[in-house]
Amino acid sequence: MQYEGEHLFIGQLGHFFVLLSFVASILATYAYFKAAQTELSPETAGWLKMGRLAFGIQVFTIIAVFVVLYLIIYNHYFEYKYAYQHSKRSLDMQYLLSCFWEGQEGSFMLWTFWQSVLGLVVIRTAKQWESRVMTVVSLSQIFLTSFLIGIYFFDIRIGTGPFVLMRNEFPDAPVLQDPNYLFKYLTDGKGLNILLQNYWMVIHPPVLFLGFASSLIPFAYIVAGLWKRDHQSWTKPALSWSLFNGGILGLGIMMGAAWAYESLTFGGYWAWDPVENASLVPWMLMVAGIHTLLIYRSTGHSLKATYLFIPSGYLFVLYSTFLTRTGVLGDTSVHSFTGEGSTLYWHLILMMLSFLAVAVVAYWRERKNIPVIRKEESMNSREFWMFVGSLLFFVSAAYIIILTSLPFFNKILGTQWAIGQDVEYVYNRVMILVIIVISILTAITQYFKYKDTTRKYLWSNLLIPTVITLILSALVSFLGGFNYDKYGAGFLAAIHLAMWAGIYALIANGTYIFKVLKGNLKMAGASITHLGFALMVIGILISSSKKELISINNTGIAISGLTDVKGKAENPAENVTLIHGVPTPMGKYVVTYEGDSAVTKNDRVYFKINFKTGDTTAKKEDFNIYPNAFLVKGDEGMNLSSNPGARHYLTRDVFVYITSWLNPNAQAADTSAFRNTWVKKGDTVFYSKGYVLVDNVITANKNDNKDLPVVDSAWLSELKVISQDGRRYDATPAYFVKDRQPSVKVDTVYTQNLVLNINAVRGEEIELGIRESNAVMRYITLKAYGFPYINVLWAGTIIMVIGFFLSMYRRLKEKRG
């Protein structure tokens, strides 16, 4: 059958490049392995040349695959499954790249691309380590490219190709049997996940996957060192790569936190979601490994710990990928990647087991030759406390990953383990204690010297920052207003201790830079990293424990059925309903729903919310916030998926998201009619939710009243609408006559769904029309938070990453020297 409009050549070209990349990875792995095995022989140069050529072909083909897939997405070739599932014609241009890595195939391709780039750097810089390190890198490329080939080996599908046609993927679909299916049925794609339509998702995944890819290089150097039976010279390049990984993976994680803060509606930047945890654990293990590697290079201790921590970092990247991509987490994550079932399940298990076997075999065959210093470290030494901190990071990572893996354990063991409803507290109650200890260690450890330190030296340097910390911490505790008592006095005390420890780390590291290092920033990479970490701790504690709920509902209007992004029921008492154009008190603000946009081509609505401080507030504020929401088709019509809006200040953020909206375009036609009653001053008319009291009827004409507007006569009513719950509302419908032609002014009481007008007049009597209509009220419901000093967290992140890169730069300079 000839199908009309299909673009087959570009998909065939892309698939060819995928297969060529897979074959080139195999050839590169074999050639580099042979180069390592024949080291120092005449054959080595030939095998190295072949390995470089094959890896170069692999790099070229991955870039080519990247370009081909992007062209398919850009040109909206919806005959391809990937383009149909992840893109849409109306999608904004900046989000086309987000389409690329929304799916499994595109994200694996991004990972493969970064490992290709890093492999080129290794080829250029590794020198004697090239053959062994690149054997491991190329082996990883074999697995990653195999995820993209999408071919069947007998009845087993290997990978999920990005160039699969819709009619081949769904051969039994009736609509795809039509030769003109592309023009009749696939005129547009399903589009990008609405949560990913945010600028952070254009830059966050590339940085995060660079972090994942770079965790392979220290792993490869350790395997190479064990393979070569060299326990020393691999440490220099491995340390530089580990520092790079610590900085870039940490940056990627916090970019994800920034995305969550701006796109998800759980009112924060971290919720211990499984996907968040899955990226945090490898970073923690790598940080532990960095410190033990520093210990080994300085004292000879902790080599075995390094052989555990750094490889675990990469292995848990693979395990985390398995958790988040195979569907084993079920619905426990709000932003995990879509699983591909058994296709990826066994594929990823094979990759994990293969690299675990590589690490275990390399270690096992060399275990008896690993140098170990039998003498215990002194408690007065830097290496002792660095090891304590590293071990604490390792144990904390184990705690997090075990809890995160419970759905997987339940699946394979048939159990029903769970960590309870309050997931955040289960993690926070432990991690806040970890933060206290780590922050104190971060403050004091650099003041110790390797091997031994006199108490006189230690306290001569630590006395001033300790005294300053005690004074400042006392002031913060007494004047800072930390009253977070949700989990009792014990947890509140832990918050205060963590704040003191964070302040101590900040002051002690700042003092160390200027007093001990004499302001030499080139030597201060570690202190700057620790200083940034301290700021992050302080920022997290302040913004979380002092997070203020602004939207306390005192309006008397409670909208039921509200849910957050996780599907959890929202408390109506924490959500304020705003009627269009009606200023509503909310905390120290008076908030007005001023309008919304027409529904755009992307089914997104933008809302304009005005915030003003009251007259009694000393500092006047007047600003607008523009949250938005997507209209998503659900089982019961259109549902709302909100993106928060925020007002950013130096010292705080005001954070708002919409929890419900009465869509005027989706309302049914209003069939209610006016009920007319002749009334005069003092009369009462009842309606279903209360009654209307006619306070006054004022009549005027232009002969008797020179101030009357340009009408001949007017009848102005003053009405009191009194609801069943005793609330009172004013209404002033009116009736005018100009040149014997009547006109009316209609008034509306939105909260009562009430429309009032005057249909006719008779002396001092008026014919009052009352209509009760569900189509009257135009409203939104929103939730609003205040995040104090959230910028301290973001500033700390930037400073910490700068510290990692300064440390890396220093180690690279030492390496060249």
Distance CA 654, CA 551 (A): 11
Nearest Cα to 751, choosing from 724, 769, 732?
Answer: 724
The reply to whether 233 falls in a domain is no
Q: Outline where 2-129 has alpha helix (H).
A: 8-37, 44-74, 81-86, 96-102, 104-125
Residues 697 and 801 in one domain: no
The reply to whether 377 falls in a domain is yes
Residues 285 and 367 in one domain: yes
Residues of the chain under the 50 pLDDT cut: 338-341, 817
Distance CA 448, CA 468 (A): 20
Where is 297: in which H helix or E strand?
Answer: helix 274-299
**Could you tell me if 809 and 526 are in contact, meaning their C-beta atoms sit under 8 angstroms apart?**
no
Helix (H, G, I), strand (E, B) or coil at 129: helix
Domain range enclosing 303: 240-419
Residues 81 and 183 in one domain: yes
The reply to whether 179 falls in a domain is yes
State the DSSP code for 531: H
Which DSSP string corresponds to 728-745?
EEEE--EEEEETTEEEEE
Residues 633 and 752 in one domain: no
pLDDT at 339: 45
The reply to whether 569 falls in a domain is no
Tokens 């326990």, residue? 231
Instruction: State which of 378, 398, 419 marks the end of a domain.
Output: 419
Greatest Cα pair distance in the chain: 118
The reply to whether 540 falls in a domain is yes
Computed on alpha carbons and rounded to an integer, the radius of gyration of the chain in Å comes to 33
pLDDT at 240: 96
Sort residue 728 into left (φ over 0), alpha (ψ -120 to 50) or beta.
Answer: beta
Residues 745 and 733 in one domain: yes
State phi, psi for 646 to the nearest 5 degrees. -150, 150
Residues 297 and 397 in one domain: yes
Q: Outline where 150-269 has alpha helix (H).
A: 166-169, 181-184, 200-214, 216-228, 235-263
Tokens 């490869």, residue? 220
Tokens 């390049």, residue? 237
Residues 718 and 784 in one domain: no
Residues 98 and 20 in one domain: yes
Residues 5 and 96 in one domain: yes
The reply to whether 669 falls in a domain is no
The reply to whether 454 falls in a domain is yes
Residues 274 and 400 in one domain: yes
Q: At what angle do helices 342-366 and 303-325 cross, to 10 degrees?
A: 170
Instruction: State which of 136, 169, 197 marks the end of a domain.
Output: 197
**Could you tell me if 537 and 509 are in contact, meaning their C-beta atoms sit under 8 angstroms apart?**
no
**Could you tell me if 96 and 70 are in contact, meaning their C-beta atoms sit under 8 angstroms apart?**
yes
Residues 648 and 710 in one domain: no
Tokens 């936190």, residue? 257
Residues 34 and 145 in one domain: yes
Instruction: State which of 367, 397, 419 marks the end of a domain.
Output: 419
Total structural domains in the chain?
Answer: 5
The reply to whether 265 falls in a domain is yes
Where is 354: in which H helix or E strand?
Answer: helix 342-366
Nearest Cα to 755, choosing from 746, 764, 763?
Answer: 746
Q: Which two tokens stand for residue 768?
A: 């009052």
pLDDT at 482: 82
**Could you tell me if 438 and 395 are in contact, meaning their C-beta atoms sit under 8 angstroms apart?**
no
Distance CA 225, CA 216 (A): 14
